[in-house]
């Protein structure tokens, strides 16, 4: 009853403010629902659906309908599916995209067809740098923004030497390069680095042995998914925690699987745009809703990206009313407080501007929790050659 | 680094540990090939099944020992179903149809795993035996890795005795040498095939269960391990126990020392070794048949 | 005109009718189908007629795509037709070198050595930053035929042009198989020792076949790059090779038109199923198993069997 009153009031306010026109907005979700990234796809979709439910009330008279398709984690197939959604299904906005290769494949098409795309994972720096587009808005993160904040912070803790380790692909390299730049600028020194193959046996023993032998004061890493679980467990097995404390991009101990790492995650310090223990009403609402909707599971940073993508789209629709041409321009003007804190879109690159949290994982009573050590507010990427 | 003895010691152990994991996987594959002349491409999926079933058993029972004991049995059970419903029907159709059926099985088993265990990576949260470190000289080394090495050697020893000291072993050797003659001499070749296939599946399941605590369990994890396993089988020489053992050692060492010494070529080292072996010994290092 | 040529004509008719009924998405699928038909037919020459089952064929396809993009892009700057020619011949040359080595082994060993070479190629492009690494290469241009009044940036015209290419490749392969070279190739598969006894240089013939099939795969790659205008290393991965092999088997090994049918079925199945269910892999795998269990030579074998059964 209460909700209906609010809805009616919102609708009335909308009607007063805008030309009396409402529209149905069609959203096309493109995510990997099969293959190695299927887990991330599920998290993001869950978050997106929860976001539509939580914020749907702000739509006024407008309605949102959703079509979804599997990117098959294949750039060629993704492009065909995106074309189908835009040209046949006539979607007004695309969202999703986990892999940066898929984003690269779609970029020219969405740019050329002037279809708004709200990216909810793929972190390639170039996507909001040299290859940016006024039609591509990213609510997730850029690779370099995650690790860039760690350089000065670690240097301030008295760490002078670090060893780098990440899978050998673009995201791994970008994250490590960003850390190297700020760590060296703060007076630190990189004494060694290693880039294990992305796909392979996931046996990191040889690399961990190498890193230990380097005598570095810290091991800075980026791993995600199954590789992150394997890496953290093997790092613990090798008894490296004493001499070579582990730092990383926060995906290393993502809320999606930190409970599996358990005790092995204890003491790992990492940086990320979201930590499940953030104490705000927005985050509580998100986590409570997520637990209720998805078998008591913890909402991960991937789910948050989906949730905020839905929030962003809803807000842009609310601002544009039924005017679909205006809607395209509104996406980059949206700002709100999400589960991760304040979030806005950089008008120069259409990348997200958000807080970064440096946190320590603490294992107690069979559970891992995250203690935030520092919050770096309003982290914003340089323009990186983007012209919008 | 290169003059530091502990570097060589630790990396040799790492290499041995990986080799034993590869051995557990490849030995079943190679004996199935030697006997039945087809490559079971779904072997990696059975490894993943072993890890996932092992995870569920460990979580339910609170002990990974139950997982080590029961996961191989469960995977052998799956193998029995596959053999009776698919592989046996194609016995007379030649090797290519059998390979293709197992290729199709990769997709079916992967989706079945996703359906049953979900898409998130899983790992045991309870107590794992040998989870501490052991000091070898001055270097701490994971005890669990030494356990994996021990399991590999134990399986090699057990299989050696099975092949050389038992009636089944004699039948297998006869079947690998010449299936037709063996059948003519009264060996029940079909029964031998069936038992060997089950044994191969059980070993893949054991590899998955043993790997699970140190790595993680994930639907589809078998696809990544399949290619190194195939490489081991071919490098070692098809159909031979000692070939699988030697091939595992060679590929384990190539991967470990390749990554430690020539990090830029880590990705291609294994393939380069494969091509080199095939060029100089076209039938692998220790083939069962000349 | 043989039955299989008739089938090829029927398949072409189906594709053309489909084209006339299509909109954008249909054109995308048609172009993809035609590209994979070319690739699958070239693998059929190798595997079906020559008995050389390769798990590295997609690596040659991907190499062709990269060669086209490199030669036709800002790094070299050739015109599109020259880049296509360069991609085709360049891939053929690489295939000749690989083939000269690989044909020395047979059977399962041949499968594995081609897998090894293919994965090395995959790793090479995955690591190569200048060519985009794992993020791939973008901004690839299409052939410009505006001089003769054809706009290839139009999806419908492009799809039609690729179908035409597939027809040309079909005719070329059918012609090659009818030449003495084709006869030797088939003979090598059926009875290599006999031909060796006749004094034929078996390795040379097999390497030549490998190079020729590789050049056709490179040609398909140069078209694929123009179709998606974006390429990434996954094109070279062994799983792509496996999919092309499924197309060949699904359609019918050693039938030439069969693999083209397999390409149509597999591409459609994959895209349509993946829109309906997230478990499309299981359905596709199950379909492959059923076709193999039918003990016929793919869909073509099944059709021929049914026709024979009805006649007699």
In tens, the pLDDT along B13-57 reads 999 999 999 999 999 898 888 887 778 889 999 999 999 999 999
Name the 3-class secondary structure at A362: strand
**Interface residue ranges in chain A relative to chain C, Cβ cutoff 8 Å:** 33-34, 38, 69-70, 72, 74-77, 79-81, 83-84, 87-88, 100-101, 104-105, 107-108, 124, 126, 131, 168-170, 197-198
- Residue C47 domain-assigned (yes or no): yes
- Residue A388 domain-assigned (yes or no): no
Q: Are residue A284 and residue A137 in the same domain, yes or no?
A: yes
Give chain A's domain count.
Answer: 2
ipTM above 0.90, yes or no: no
Structure tokens given for B69: 């004991």
- Residue A362 domain-assigned (yes or no): no
Q: Are C222 and C67 in contact (CB under 8 A)?
A: yes
Name which of A40, B127, B106 is nearest C285 in CA terms.
B106
- Cβ–Cβ of A237/B214 closer than 8 Å? yes
Per-residue model confidence as pLDDT tens digits over A4-40: 444 555 555 555 555 547 899 999 999 999 877 888 9
Dihedral sign, CA of A136, A139, A143, A145? Answer: positive
Mutate to test the interface with B, among A233, A243, A294 (most CBs of B within 10 A): A233
Q: Are residue A8 and residue A117 in the same domain, yes or no?
A: yes
- Measured between beta carbons, which residues in chain A are less than 8 angstroms from residue B26? none
Neighbouring chains to A with at least 3 Cβ pairs closer than 8 Å: B, C
Instruction: Tell whether C133 lies on the interface with B, counting CB pairs under 8 A.
Output: no
Rounded to 5°, angle at Cα B15 from B13 and B16:
65
Contacts of A343 (CB under 8 A, 6+ apart): A139, A308, A335, A336, A337, A352, A353, A354
To the nearest whole Å, the CA of B12 is away from the closest chain A CA by: 9
- Measured between beta carbons, which residues in chain B are less than 8 angstroms from residue A230? 214-216
Instruction: Tell whether C93 lies on the interface with B, counting CB pairs under 8 A.
Output: no
The pLDDT score that the predictor gives to residue B4 is 79
Q: What is the mean pLDDT of chain A?
A: 91
Q: Are residue A266 and residue A294 in the same domain, yes or no?
A: no
Structural domain harbouring C226: 3-235
- Measured between beta carbons, which residues in chain C are less than 8 angstroms from residue B272? 120
> Which of A272, A289, A307 is the endpoint of a domain?
A272
- Measured between beta carbons, which residues in chain A are less than 8 angstroms from residue B218? 225-226
Q: Which residue is closest to C298 within chain B, CA to CA?
A: B97
Dihedral angle over CA of A233, A237, A238, A244, nearest 10: 60
Q: Are C68 and C222 in contact (CB under 8 A)?
A: yes
Q: Are residue A68 and residue A23 in the same domain, yes or no?
A: yes
Per-residue model confidence as pLDDT tens digits over C106-122: 888 898 889 989 999 99
To the nearest whole Å, the CA of B251 is away from the closest chain C CA by: 13
Query: Which backbone phi and psi does C212 adopt, to 5 degrees?
Result: -65, -50
Per-residue model confidence as pLDDT tens digits over A174-200: 999 999 999 999 999 999 999 988 877
Q: Are residue A137 and residue A284 in the same domain, yes or no?
A: yes
Name the 3-class secondary structure at A104: helix
Separation between Cα atoms, residue B85 and residue C231, nearest integer Å: 41
Give chain C's domain count.
Answer: 1
Contacts of B65 (CB under 8 A, 6+ apart): B129
Separation between Cα atoms, residue C259 and residue C245, nearest integer Å: 9
- Measured between beta carbons, which residues in chain A are less than 8 angstroms from residue B145? 205, 237
- Residue C88 domain-assigned (yes or no): yes
- Measured between beta carbons, which residues in chain B are less than 8 angstroms from residue A209? 7, 10-11, 14, 260
Name which of A165, A253, A259 is nearest A205 in CA terms.
A165
Name the 3-class secondary structure at A163: strand
The pLDDT score that the predictor gives to residue C312 is 58
CB atoms within 10 A of CB A388: 15
Structure tokens given for C148: 């003769």
- Which residue is listed with tokens 């190498």? A210
**Burial category of B183 from C-beta neighbours within 10 Å (exposed 0-12, middle 13-18, buried 19 and up):** middle
Dihedral angle over CA of B266, B268, B271, B272, nearest 10: -100
Instruction: Tell whether C242 lies on the interface with B, counting CB pairs under 8 A.
Output: yes
Q: Are residue A159 and residue A260 in the same domain, yes or no?
A: yes
Q: How confident is the model at residue C143 (pLDDT cuts 50, 70, 90)?
A: very high
- Cβ–Cβ of A257/B140 closer than 8 Å? no
Structural domain harbouring A257: 145-272
CB atoms within 10 A of CB C240: 23
Q: Which of A72, A76, A108 faces C274 most closely, judged by CB atoms?
A: A72
Mean pLDDT confidence for C268-272: 88
Q: Are residue A128 and residue A7 in the same domain, yes or no?
A: yes
Whether the pLDDT of residue A2 is over 70: the answer is no
Q: Are residue A163 and residue A225 in the same domain, yes or no?
A: yes
- Residue C310 domain-assigned (yes or no): no
- Residue A382 domain-assigned (yes or no): no
The pLDDT score that the predictor gives to residue C309 is 76
Q: Are residue A176 and residue A249 in the same domain, yes or no?
A: yes
Separation between Cα atoms, residue B235 and residue B157, nearest integer Å: 21
The pLDDT score that the predictor gives to residue A3 is 45
Instruction: Tell whether C105 lies on the interface with B, counting CB pairs under 8 A.
Output: yes
Separation between Cα atoms, residue C74 and residue A217, nearest integer Å: 44
Q: Are strands A335-338 and A341-345 parallel, antiparallel or unpaired?
A: antiparallel
- Residue C74 domain-assigned (yes or no): yes
Q: Are residue A14 and residue A96 in the same domain, yes or no?
A: yes
Across the A:C interface, residue pairs with CB atoms under 8 Å apart total: 87
Q: Which residue is closest to C141 within chain A, CA to CA?
A: A108
């Amino acid at each position: 009853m209460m909700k209906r009153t609010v809805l009616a009031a919102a609708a009335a306010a909308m009607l007063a403010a805008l030309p009396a026109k409402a529209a149905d907005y069609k959203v096309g979700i493109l995510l990997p629902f099969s293959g190695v990234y299927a887990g991330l796809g599920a998290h993001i979709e869950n978050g997106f659906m929860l976001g539509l439910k939580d914020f749907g009330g702000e739509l006024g008279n407008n309605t949102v309908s959703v079509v979804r398709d599997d990117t098959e984690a294949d750039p060629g197939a993704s492009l065909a599916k995106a074309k189908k959604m835009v040209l046949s299904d006539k979607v007004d906005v695309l969202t999703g995209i986990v892999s940066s290769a898929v984003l690269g494949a779609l970029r020219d098409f969405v740019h050329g067809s002037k279809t708004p795309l709200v990216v909810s994972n793929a972190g390639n720096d170039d996507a909001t740098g040299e290859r940016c587009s006024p039609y591509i808005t990213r609510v997730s993160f850029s690779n370099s923004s995650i690790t860039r904040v760690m350089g000065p912070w670690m240097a301030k803790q008295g760490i002078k030497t670090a060893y780098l380790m990440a899978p050998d692909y673009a995201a791994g390299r970008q994250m490590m390069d960003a850390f190297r730049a700020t760590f060296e600028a703060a007076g630190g020194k990189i004494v060694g680095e290693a880039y294990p193959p992305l796909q392979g046996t996931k046996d990191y023993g040889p690399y961990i042995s190498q890193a230990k032998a380097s005598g570095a004061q810290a091991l800075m890493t980026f791993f995600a998914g199954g590789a992150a679980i394997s890496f953290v467990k093997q790092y613990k097995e090798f008894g490296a925690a004493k001499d070579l404390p582990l730092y990383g991009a926060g995906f290393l101990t993502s809320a999606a699987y930190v409970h599996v790492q358990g005790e092995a995650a204890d003491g790992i310090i990492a940086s990320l745009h979201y930590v499940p223990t953030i104490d705000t009403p927005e985050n509580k609402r998100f986590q409570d809703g997520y637990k209720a909707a998805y078998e008591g599971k913890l909402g991960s940073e991937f789910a948050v990206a989906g949730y905020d993508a839905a929030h962003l789209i809803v807000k842009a629709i609310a601002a544009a009313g039924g005017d679909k041409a205006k809607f395209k321009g509104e996406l980059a003007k949206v700002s709100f407080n999400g589960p991760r804190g304040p979030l806005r879109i950089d008008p120069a690159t259409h990348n997200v501007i958000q807080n970064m949290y440096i946190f320590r994982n603490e294992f107690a009573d069979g559970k891992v929790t995250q203690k935030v050590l520092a919050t770096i507010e309003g982290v914003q990427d340089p323009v990186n050659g983007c012209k919008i | 680094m290169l003059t530091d003895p502990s570097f060589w010691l630790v990396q040799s152990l790492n290499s041995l540990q990986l080799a034993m994991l590869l051995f557990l996987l490849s030995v079943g594959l190679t004996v199935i090939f030697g006997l039945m002349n087809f490559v079971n491409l779904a072997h990696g999926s059975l490894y993943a099944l072993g890890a996932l079933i092992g995870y569920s058993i460990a979580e339910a029972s609170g002990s990974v020992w139950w997982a080590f004991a029961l996961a191989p049995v469960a995977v052998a059970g799956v193998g029995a179903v596959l053999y009776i419903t698919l592989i046996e029907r194609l016995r007379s159709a030649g090797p290519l149809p059998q390979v293709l059926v197992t290729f199709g099985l990769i997709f079916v088993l992967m989706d079945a795993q996703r359906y049953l265990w979900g898409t998130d990576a899983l790992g045991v949260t309870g107590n794992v035996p040998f989870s501490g470190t052991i000091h070898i000289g001055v270097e701490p080394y994971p005890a669990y890795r030494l356990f994996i090495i021990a399991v590999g050697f134990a399986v090699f020893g057990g299989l050696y005795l099975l092949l050389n000291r038992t009636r089944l072993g004699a039948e297998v050797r006869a079947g690998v040498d010449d299936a037709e003659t063996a059948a003519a001499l009264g060996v029940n070749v079909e029964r031998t095939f069936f038992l060997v296939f089950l044994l191969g599946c059980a070993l893949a399941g054991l590899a998955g269960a043993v790997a699970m605590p140190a790595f993680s369990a994930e639907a589809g994890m078998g696809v990544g391990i399949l290619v190194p396993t195939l490489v081991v089988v071919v490098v070692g020489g098809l159909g031979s126990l000692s070939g699988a053992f030697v091939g595992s050692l060679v590929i384990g060492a190539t991967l470990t020392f390749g990554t430690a010494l020539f990090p830029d070529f880590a990705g291609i080292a294994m393939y380069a070794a494969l091509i080199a072996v095939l060029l100089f010994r076209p039938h692998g290092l220790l083939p069962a048949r000349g | 005109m043989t039955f299989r040529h008739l089938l090829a004509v029927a398949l072409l008719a189906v594709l053309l009718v489909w084209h006339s009924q299509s909109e954008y998405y249909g054109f995308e699928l048609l172009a993809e189908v035609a590209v994979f038909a070319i690739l699958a037919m070239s693998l059929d020459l190798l595997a079906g007629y020559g008995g050389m089952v390769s798990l590295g064929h997609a690596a040659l396809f991907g190499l062709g795509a990269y060669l086209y993009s490199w030669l036709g892009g800002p790094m070299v700057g050739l015109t599109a037709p020259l880049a296509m020619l360069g991609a085709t011949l360049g891939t053929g040359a690489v295939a000749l070198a690989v083939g000269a080595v690989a044909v020395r082994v047979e059977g399962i060993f041949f499968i594995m050595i081609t897998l090894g070479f293919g994965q090395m190629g995959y790793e090479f492009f995955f690591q190569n930053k200048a060519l985009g690494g794992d993020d791939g290469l973008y901004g690839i241009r299409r052939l410009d035929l505006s001089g003769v009044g054809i706009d290839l940036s139009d999806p419908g015209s492009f799809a039609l042009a690729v179908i035409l290419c597939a027809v040309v490749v079909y005719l070329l392969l059918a012609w090659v198989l009818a030449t003495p070279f084709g006869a030797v190739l088939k003979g090598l598969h059926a009875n290599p020792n006999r031909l060796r006894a006749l004094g034929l240089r078996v390795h040379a013939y097999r390497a030549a076949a490998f190079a020729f099939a590789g050049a056709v795969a490179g040609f398909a790659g140069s078209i694929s790059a123009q179709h998606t205008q974006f390429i990434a290393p996954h094109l070279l991965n062994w799983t792509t090779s496996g999919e092309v092999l499924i197309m060949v088997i699904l359609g019918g090994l050693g039938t030439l038109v069969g693999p083209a049918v397999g390409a149509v079925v597999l591409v459609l199945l994959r895209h349509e199923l993946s829109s309906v269910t997230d478990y499309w892999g299981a359905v596709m795998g199950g379909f492959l198993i059923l076709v193999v269990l039918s003990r016929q030579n793919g869909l073509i074998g099944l059709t021929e069997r049914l026709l024979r059964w009805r006649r007699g």
